[in-house]
Each structure stands twice: as C-alpha cells, then as structure tokens.
A and B are shown apart, each in its own frame.
Chain A
Amino acid sequence: MASVLTDRTSRAVNTYTYTSRPRALPCQRRRYRDNFLQEEEPMRYGNIMYDRRVIRGNTYALQTGQLPGQPDPLELQRQQQAKRRALARKRAQEQLRPRTPEPLEGRKHVDVQTELYLEEIADRMVEVDVECQTDAFLDRPSTPLFIPAKTGKDVDTEILEGELFDFDLEVKPMLEVLVGKTIEQSLLEVMEEEELANLQAMQYAYEEIRNIELAEVQRLEEQERRHREEKERRKQQQWEMVNKHKETSQKIAARVFAQRYLADLLPSVFSSLRDSGYFYDPIERDIEMGFLPWLMDEVEKTMEYSMVGRTVLDMLIREVVEKRLSMYENKENKHQSLRPKDEHGGPGAMRDPPVGYGFQKQSLSHTQKPLLDRDDQRMSYDGGPSQERKYMEEGELLGQSEETAIRKSLGKEEL
C-alpha cells in the first residue's frame, strides 16, 4: 500500500522522500490481552492470475451472470435474508440472554468500575496538536560543514621527569643475562656434545668387548651343544644296543622255552591222531575190512548149509517115517487094495524127490539171500541136483554117511 509519490521532479536529484498514509503498523505481536481490534483488513495480496476480478476468456461474448465483484441478486437476496435471520436470531438471543434483572421500585442500576485502577471515562477524546512551520522568506542557509560527532574517548598522559628510563643502563643486566645465558647454553651444548662423543666412544668400546664376549659365549655354547648331542647320541646308541641285547636274549629265551615247551608236541600229535583213529595200521584195517567180513560170510554160509542140510535131513527122515507108517498101515489093508496103494506109493515116491528138490531149492534160496553176490555165482543150480543126489544118499543111509556127505559138500564149497 505504500504509494511512492513521484515527487522527484519537483525536488533535487538526490533527495528521497517517502510518504504513506498513516496507518498502524501491521505488527503481529499482540500488545494487549485479548486484543478486540483484530478485525482489521487482512492483507490482501494475491496472484493476479488467480484474481477473480480479472476477466478471462473472450471479452466479446455476453456475460451471463454478475460480475464477479458484484453480488448476485439471488445471492444478495439470500444474503439479505440470512442477515435478517441472523439479526433476528441475535435479537432473540439477546432477549434470551440473561440480563441483569430490572431494578426494583425506586432503585436505579449504576455502573461501577471494579478494576484495580479507576479510569476516567469521558466523552472527550484527548487530543494533542503539534505544529511546525518553516519561514517562507528565509533562504536556505548553506549547509554547514559536516563534522561528525566525536565519538570515542580521548585519553592523554603526562610524562614527568625521571620517569623515563635510561635504556643503556637498564639494558645492561638484561643483556648480560641474555648473553651469559646464551654463552652458557652454547657451552653446555658443546659440553654435551663432547660428553655424547665420549659416551659414544665408550659404548663403541663396550660393544666391541661385548661382541667378543658374545662370540666367546656362542663358541662355548656351541661346544656345549655339540657335547650334549654327542652324549645323547651315544646314550641312544647304548640304549638301543642294550634294548637289542635284551630283545635278543628274550627272543632266545622264548625260542628255548618254546622248544622245551613244544618238545613233546610231535609225539603227542601222532599219538592223539592214532587214538582218534586217523592213523591206523593198514594191514589191520585191511584184515578187518576185507578179510574178516568175507570170512564171516563164508562161515555163515557154511553154517547155513549145515542148517539147511539138517533141515532137509529132518524132512527126509519124516518123509521116510511117514512112508513107512503108511506102508505099515497099508500092510493091514493089504488084502483090500494093494495095487491102488502101490500106485499111490509110486507116484508118491516119485513125487518125493521133486518135492524134496523144491524144498531144498526154497531153503537154498533162503540161504542165498544174505550171502554176497559172488557166492551166488558160485552156487549155481548145477550144484543143486548133485547136492540133492548126495542128500538122497544120506536119506538112505542115516548117521555117518550124512556127516561124510556134509564134509564132502563142505569140501566142494571150499574149492
């Protein structure tokens, strides 16, 4: 809102003037409590681009509606109505608002100030006028020389007699001290250097000695180590030797012991194998397995034969006795029918040898079963009838002949 008056044309070139309408400064700070004078005009500034008062668009067409600055009549009406309503409401509220009750009869309400400091309330405003005037006819005086105001403080001193010092006098002790110190320092430094050099020399000498000694020590150590290693090696050797010796003696002892312990091994092995039957006398075994069974079989066979022979003999004897008995019986019935009996006897007698033969065959076959195969071959059926004939002879002659026949048969078998 500052309006810069262009008064430049009327005044001198370098003058600057500024005027503005008197206004209260827009200070944001609130001066007083609850400042009621807040409804000032807010600062209205805005972007012109978005200002509604600026007409945009085509300006040649008819504008419908109101200009943005002016209110719409409808709107106006509404606003007026709203205002009226608000007013009415306000009035109503004011009426409803609790007020102080009306004063009683004969009384009057009086306003009283209750604040701490009383205030004179008067209608009259305090006004102060101030004027100033410039003389119209005076010339403008020349500007005075600008002498800036003196700032700062002036201070001065006064030197009285005898207050200044004599430099040479004063300086002397200081100088002495300085020089002396310097010289002393340098002397010290030189001494130090000398001392250092001495030390250096001593150290060097010492180091030489030390090196020599170290070398000596090392040599001695080497010697010691060599001795020790030698000793160790010798000890080791000795120990190994002793060990070996011990081992050898143990081995020898073990061998001798084993020899002694197992001295009886072979004989005992052989005797145990013999006892368990693995080693047998081959001749004995052969006799046992080969000869004796054969012998036993032969003996068995022979005994069988004799048994058989005896059985057959028994049978024959029985036959003969039966025949004799029947003949004897027949003798009684001789007068009756000799012929038929004879015939009977004839075929009966004829039948006997075959019967006997058949029986013998059976018994022979009996005896043949347990015999070995080779005996079968030898015992051919050719031998049968000859034996039968012999047995037949036996049947005729009892006793001795039987035995001779048996012996004969035995002899035949032994062939």
Chain B
Amino acid sequence: MDVTTAPHRIPAEMPQYGESNHIFELMQNMLEQLLIHQPEDPISFMIQHLDRNNDNVPKIVILGPPASGKTTIAMWLCKHLNSNLLSVENLVIREFPSLTAETRKHYQKTKTVPSTLLVRLIKERLAQEDCIKRGWILDGIPETREQALMIQTQGVIPRHVVMLSALDTVLIERNLGKRVDPQTGEIYHTTFDWPPESDIQNRLVVPAGISEMETARKLLEYHRNIVRIIPSYPKILKVISADQPCVDVFYQALTYVQTHHRSNAPFTPKVLLCGPTGSGKSLQAALLAQKYGLVNVCCGQLLKEAVADKTQFGELIWPFFEKEMAVPDSLVVKVLSQRLDQQDSIQKGWVLHGFPRDLDQAHMLSSMGYDPNRVFFLNVPFDSIVERLTLRRIDPVTGERYHLLYKPPPTMEIQARLLQHPKDSEEQVKLKVDLFYRNSADLEQFYRQAVTLNGDQDPYTVFEYVESGIINPLPKKIP
C-alpha cells in the first residue's frame, strides 16, 4: 500500500483553516476568472489575481422602475461600501470627448446610447484600477435583455442584484416630486427627502421628463424590459419593495449585499447550542443529529456515561456525583476532548450542548482547539420554561414520559400515577435559569458570530431556523 493511498489522519486544523479562510470560494473565483480570461500564462495570472485579493469587493447591480429611488440607493450604498458608481450618465460623460458626433447628438436628444457602445464603456470602466480595487455598483444597467446578455458574455458577473419594485401609481405620483441638485447631482424629493440646508433647497431644479405621461411611458418601457432581464440573474436577485421609507429600503439592500451566497464548499458543522434549561437544546440537537448525521454531544450525558462505564475518568467523576457537587472544569474538558477527538466527530461534525456555561469554560474550549463554527442562543421567556418543565411527568410503570400540556396521558388511570422529577420543581428551575442568565452576557460577547433565535415556538419551526442558520453562510456584521 502506497503512502498516498493509505487512510490518512487529517489534522483538525486543516478543515478549520479551509473554512475560516474561505478557501473553496477563493479557488472557485480564481478558476472562474481563469476560464473567463484564458490567459497564456496561467500561473502569473493566478498570482496576479491572488495579489489583487478583490473577491470580497462589492459587485452590485441595482434595477428598478423610474422614480423608485435607484440612484439614491446606489449613491448611498456607494458611500457606505466605499465603492464606485456606474450609470449611463456618468459613463457617457466620462467618455464624452472620445465619442463620435453622431453618438453625442443622439445622446443629447434621447439620453440613451446604443447597447454595444454602452457595454464597451462598461467593460473599459471596469478594467480600471479603482473598480478592481473597490468594486462597482451599476445603477440602472442593464436596461434590456440584450444588454444583460452582452454584459454577461463579457464576463462581468455581479454578485448581488437588487430590484426595487413598487406600484405604478405610487411611482407616477412620486416622480412628480423629484428635484435634482445641479451641483452634486443628488436627487431629492419634495415630500420624502427634502434637504435640510436652505442653500441646497434654493439650488434645486425640476428635472426634465417627470410629467405623468412621460413617467407612464417610461414605466411601460421598463416593464417590457425587466421581465426579460430577471431570468438572467436567477440566484442572486432580490426584490425589495420601494414603497417604504428610503432608509428602510437602504438597510434592506445593505444587509442583502453584505451576505455571502451559499457556496459549495464542504462544510462540517460544529454547532454549539446555548440556552437556559428547558429551552429545547437537547431536542434540537437530537433533530440535527438525526437529519444531518452529526454527533450529538451532551455534556451531562457524557459524564454520566463515563461514570456508568467505569472508565478511568468515570472513577474520578463518581465522587462528585455522589456528593452532588459540580464536576470541576478540567475534568469535564478532558472527557469532552476525548469524545470530540474521535474520528467520527471530526468527520461528521458535532453538535454540543450543555457545555460552556461560563466564560472560563468557553476559553478552555477554544484553547483546546474545538472552536464551534455555528453558535445558537435559544431565547425562551421564563414563563414558557416554567410551563415546559414543571408539567413534565413520568409514568413509573411503563416508563413513558408525558407532558400535561403538550403530550397529556391518554387515560385518567395513568394520569393518577404520574410522578414528577424533584429537579423539575419551580424553585429548582428558577435557580438553574438564573444561573444561566448570570453567565449568558459573557458568553454572548465571547461568541460574536452567534445567532439568537426565539425558542418559544413549535420545535420544528425552531429547527428550521437552526437549519437555515447552519446552512447559510454566517452574516457579516455591519461595522
């Protein structure tokens, strides 16, 4: 057996490294660029691409009917993300001297340029240094399917496409209030977005072409075209209603453009579920383990198993169990690391619950190298917890577990003989919940990328949230 084919023990740092540095996405981007440009010297091209390191720059297209606020949103996004804005206007104005007289006249009359010219201008502009370094935002381009296809053929691939939509009536009305500042080019509105400074107010000019007829005509044209543009961007399109205040639209757009899309990178989930007792952690963990084949690691369970199996650790833990004292952290960590080092948990991933209960334990966990890549905090109000836990009963004869509200026993006879676990009494529950909340603030600060979920819902709903949290890439927090 050759060394390269023997079963290998891959150290756990490697998948972690790959995941944290988004190696798969990096390679994917590089390969895409290679395929698009097909250079003669692939190696130096790849080196150049990696040097540029512009995988995460914004590449956004904003589409929308006239008077939906595209330009405003585009300009705000530009400022916020420090990127470059490209629209028909500023592309043409940049190249104005080099255009032929005919095109110039045509532009001045109709404010449009032929598609081939536009695509050529776009390509030239995107090849410039600042667009490469800081990304680009296309405002209102492509206008027709033809342009969209031409742009795509050139290899210009946006990562996010935002489409603003609103009812035509709203748009027509809104367009009547449009005002433009001739100096800065910013667009204001008489009702929705009035500039505070009076000197800007005095400067504002009514732009041409905002009468109802004009707007209606433009809307017609837009609707004709947009229907055919949408299928060109199937997975990256997001429709945002433009019928809300500007700021809301902007924030929705901003959140969207800052999310990564799902990638095909191989991903072993290492999930940490945190929450007070009774928030449903064990249930969610069990569901996850069942559906995705993850290893369900419940800390308390692990310790009990160790004691029951009378392993070396079990011998050490047993006295603490006898005296009903909390097992010391070092011991717990040792047992955990033994479990998490096993091959199946490395390969399949794990879901941990019940372990770090405070900041020191969390530090210990990360220092051992077991950093979870998804952390969920389940928030459940105290009353729900009490309801869930204090109504738990067990039938001593059959061993069935019942809940007086959610899974009541079928017959009165069974109900008569049900018993309650002493740990499920209200005082005990209150103690445990208080203990958790004392440490939860520290934990939340430690795990910055944690997702907080409302645990007060139906378990399958919560499970869906957890699933989407695991499968979708982690959101980037707005700085």
Which A residues fall within an 8 A CB radius of B?
248-250, 252-257, 260-269, 272-273, 275-278, 280, 285, 288-289
Contact = CB atoms under 8 A, between A and B. Distances in A.
Nearest to A269: B31
A289 B10 contact: no
Contacts of A265: 24, 27-28, 31
B152 A256 contact: no
B153 A262 contact: no
Q: How large is the interface on B (under 10, 10 to 19, 20 to 34, 35 or more residues)?
A: 20 to 34
A269 B236 CA distance: 16
B149 A253 contact: no
Given A252-B4, A254-B14, A272-B28, A261 B266 contact: yes
A276 B14 contact: no
Interface string B153-169: 10101000000000000
A276 B4 contact: no
A249 B234 CA distance: 44
B325 to A, nearest CB: 42
Given A256-B8, A278-B152, A269 B266 contact: no
Given A273-B32, A277-B232, A278-B155, A262 B8 contact: no
B97 interface: no
B234 A275 contact: yes
A277 B24 CA distance: 21
B264 A261 contact: no
Pairs A-B, 5 closest by C-beta atoms:
A277-B152, A268-B264, A276-B157, A269-B31, A257-B14
A273 B266 contact: no
Given A261-B18, A261-B23, 10 more contacts: A248-B3, A262-B27, A265-B27, A265-B31, A273-B36, A276-B152, A276-B233, A278-B35, A278-B152, A278-B155
B15 interface: yes
B52 interface: no
Contacts of B10: 253, 256-257
Contact of A253 (B11, B153, B263, B265): B11
21 contacts: A248-B3, A252-B3, A252-B8, A257-B10, A257-B18, A260-B266, A261-B23, A266-B31, A267-B264, A269-B31, A269-B32, A272-B32, A273-B35, A273-B36, A273-B157, A275-B235, A276-B157, A277-B152, A277-B153, A280-B149, A289-B146
A286 B18 CA distance: 41
Interface in B5-33: 8-11, 14-15, 18, 23-24, 27-28, 31-32
A245 to B, nearest CB: 10
Contacts of B24: 261-262, 265
Given A264-B264, A265-B24, A278-B36, A253 B8 contact: yes
A262 B22 CA distance: 12
Contacts, number: 79
B303 to A, nearest CB: 33
Interface in B288-305: none
Contacts of A280: 149, 152-153
A269 B27 CA distance: 9
A289 B27 CA distance: 33
Interface string B109-143: 00000000000000000000000000000000000
A411 B230 CA distance: 38
Given A252-B3, A252-B4, A252-B8, A264 B266 contact: yes
B10 to A, nearest CB: 5
Contacts of A252: 3-4, 8
Nearest to A252: B4
B15 A257 contact: yes
A23 to B, nearest CB: 126
Contacts of B148: 277
Contacts of A256: 4, 8, 10
A280 B8 CA distance: 41
Contacts of A257: 8, 10, 14-15, 18
A264 B35 CA distance: 16
Nearest to A248: B3
A368 B32 CA distance: 46
Contacts of A262: 24, 27
B14 A253 contact: yes
B436 to A, nearest CB: 37
A253 B152 contact: no
Contacts of B15: 257, 261
Contact of A269 (B14, B28, B146): B28
A257 B10 CA distance: 7
A266 B36 CA distance: 14
